[in-house]
Structure 1
Amino acid sequence: MFRNRQSLILAVGLFGILAPATLAQGVGQAAEATAPAAAGQPAMLRVGDRLDSARLHPVTRPGLYGMSEAPSGSRYGIVDGKLIRYDPENAQVLSIIRQVDRIMD
């Protein structure tokens, strides 16, 4: 009986020490995942997003970026330093191609 009580006390003590740190870490991660973008920083760009025309730089010379002409029904552009392919009719992001260092056209 004494041995089981020691194990119980040890388990409760370890839980008391580890639980607050684990819970705080989980709450912090959840807050990061659901928090809106910080003031002045644009939201992360994802495939399927609708583009804000103020953030979009249409690419007029895709060869400067090592690209051929965009497939029919789409165009290339740069948003927040990322080369993307988008649908000009509904301003929807079709693909995110890669990061670009600077706008060349």
Structure 2
Amino acid sequence: MIPKPAMIATAVAGVIAVALTASFGLQAQGTPATPPRIEAPRLMPGDVLRADQVRIIENPGQYGLGSGVRGSRYAIAEGHLIRIGPKSLRVQSVIRTKVRPVD
């Protein structure tokens, strides 16, 4: 006959072995989802744009903006709401991305 402590030790070892080799957690079905990519703005402060790339905003309130900073204008370029130098067309700041012009 097998002593009781040995029988308990064998049973515990068997349970541990099963637990280590089996996966009791939920498993995803299909391909794993890819995390969303965070894209950096393509326009950066200091970039100089051509006149045909820029659409000046005449009514900043339509975009939730105030009157603006002296010596700059709001504009949309490449889907970005930006603040630019009115003569140089140099990007002073990128305010928002993924913006569509309001007609």
**Considering the TM-score relative to the shorter chain, is it more than 0.5?**
yes
The structure in which a higher percent of residues are helix is: 1
Taking only aligned residues, the RMSD between alpha carbons, in angstroms, comes to 1.1
Question: Match of 1:77?
Answer: 75
Q: Which of the pair has more CA radius of gyration?
A: 2
Runs of 4+ aligned residues of structure 1 deviating over 6 Å after TM superposition are none
User: How big is the shift at 1:72?
Assistant: 0.5
TM-score by length of 2: 0.56
Matched-pair identity in % = 39
TM-score by length of 1: 0.55
Gaps of 5+ in 1: 1-43
User: How big is the shift at 1:45?
Assistant: 1.4
Gaps of 5+ in 2: 1-41
Query: Per-residue CA shift, 1:39-67, capped at 9, x if unaligned?
Result: xxxxx311101011111000000000000
Query: Aligned equivalents of 2:60 and 2:68: distance in 1?
Result: 8
Counting matched residue pairs gives 62
Query: Aligned equivalents of 1:103 and 1:91: distance in 2?
Result: 18
1:55 to 53, 57, 60: 53
